[in-house]
């Protein structure tokens, strides 16, 4: 935040004495504020940047009209990171830890992007993920939105009805799914659920299986494997899309009726997350960013955006209380996590268990 304030004074002649003054400026002159975020984080567009805001009310406002961007392009820039630097550290109770480097992530995304295009995925199509919080999910998300298709995901912990209530509204053409997962000591197979979800979604043209619980993908009839997508040559470039082009569809919890679909755009999420993670959270290339989340919660999307500011994202897939409530604090020590996030129930459970992490684990 301090470096941005210094940049504002040096580059824009805007002098803001403290945080409160910066907040007042951001709300009284939102055009100048968001233009400063664009410039400070070097957001790139093939069209250049014209007007920041067209219209004055919430109903008719259009941000950066005529401007094209792509969220995935910026997530894969990984500013400040070398090709060999780890940008994803993945821990799972289903398989051994995985590390994905910057070069490896770019290569996998490019291959899967080409694979999705070969399946007929085009801009505006919806691609759905019934996937765990694993590296393949990030790759699939970035590959999808790089095409200009629209991403939506549900965690495989969700049952058939909950998934169909969500994906049935958006008519996905491709479903990517794990075959199952482990939660603590328990193996949970999802083959029957996948068959039921598939039958309930007539829009589906293809199912792609990420072998997570079992190395065999042929347990799901007429499905492609993740390896089929990775086998494509990286021949399809990320596509510039209009600033407000849909990026992802998230859903409300469904506690007051059917889940409500909430559409987020490329440019809006790109700038908002640069602001939140870069300015407010002070994350950058030296950080390892963890949040306890599944792919059904918007915090998964927030976690992935750590890539926008060059941070390494730390993933966890499994039961956070297995073998005990210290499991994730041990993960934080092992991974060198610098930012640890979780919902309130996790911290309440730690307190109830009488856990004092700093006295047991190296959280330096």
Q: 280-291, pLDDT tens digit by residue?
A: 999 999 999 999
Reported as a pLDDT band with limits 50, 70 and 90, residue 162 is: very high
Please tell me the distance from the alpha carbon of residue 127 to that of residue 164, in angstroms, as a whole number: 14
8 A C-beta contact, residue 238 and residue 251: no
Range 297-326 average pLDDT: 97
Distance of CA 117 to the CA centre of its chain: 21
Summarize the confidence of residues 149-177 as an average pLDDT: 97
Residue from 177, 165, 178, 173 nearest 251 by CA: 165
Query: Looking at residue 48, what is its pLDDT?
Result: 83
Nearest CA among 280, 276, 271, 282 for reference residue 247: 271
Residues 63-92 have pLDDT tens digits of 999 999 999 999 999 999 999 999 999 999
Contacts of 106 (CB under 8 A, 6+ apart): 76
Share of the chain above pLDDT 70, in %: 99
Beta bridge partners of 91: 316
142: pLDDT strictly greater than 90: yes
d(C-alpha 175, C-alpha 172), whole Å? 7
Is the peptide bond between 303 and the residue preceding it cis, with omega within 30 degrees of 0? Answer: no
Q: Which of 246, 278, 280, 242 is nearest to 261 (CA)?
A: 246
Tokens of 193: 């659920």
């Amino acid at each position: 935040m301090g470096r941005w304030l210094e940049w504002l004074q040096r580059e824009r002649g805007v002098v803001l004495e403290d945080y409160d003054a910066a907040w007042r400026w951001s709300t009284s002159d939102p055009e100048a504020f968001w233009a400063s975020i664009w410039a400070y984080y070097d957001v790139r567009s093939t069209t250049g940047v014209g007007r920041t805001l067209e219209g004055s009310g919430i109903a008719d406002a259009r941000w950066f009209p005529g401007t094209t961007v792509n969220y995935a392009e910026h997530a894969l820039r990984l500013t400040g990171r070398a090709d060999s630097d780890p940008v994803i550290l993945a821990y799972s109770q289903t398989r051994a830890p995985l590390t994905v480097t910057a070069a490896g992530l770019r290569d996998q995304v490019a291959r899967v992007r080409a694979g999705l295009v070969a399946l007929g995925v085009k801009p505006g199509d919806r691609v759905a993920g019934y996937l765990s919080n694993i590296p393949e999910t990030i790759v699939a998300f970035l590959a999808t939105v790089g095409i200009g298709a629209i991403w939506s995901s549900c965690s495989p912990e969700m049952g058939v009805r909950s998934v169909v209530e969500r994906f049935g509204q958006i008519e996905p053409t491709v479903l990517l799914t794990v075959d199952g997962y482990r939660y603590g000591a328990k193996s949970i197979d999802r083959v029957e659920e996948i068959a039921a979800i598939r039958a309930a979604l007539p829009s589906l043209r293809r199912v792609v299986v990420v072998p997570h619980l079992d190395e065999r993908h042929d347990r799901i009839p007429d499905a492609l494997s993740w390896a089929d997508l990775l086998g494509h040559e990286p021949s399809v470039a990320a596509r510039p899309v209009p600033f407000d082009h849909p990026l992802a569809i998230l859903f409300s919890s469904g506690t007051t009726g059917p889940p409500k679909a909430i559409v987020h755009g490329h440019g809006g999420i790109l700038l908002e997350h640069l602001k939140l993670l870069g300015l407010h959270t002070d994350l950058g290339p030296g950080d390892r960013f963890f949040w306890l989340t599944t792919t059904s919660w918007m915090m998964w999307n927030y976690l992935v955006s750590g890539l926008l500011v060059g941070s390494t994202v730390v993933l966890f897939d499994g039961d956070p209380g297995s073998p005990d409530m210290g499991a994730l604090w041990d993960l934080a020590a092992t991974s060198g996590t610098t930012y640890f996030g979780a919902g309130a129930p996790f911290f309440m459970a730690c307190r109830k268990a009488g856990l004092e992490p700093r006295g047991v684990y190296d959280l330096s």
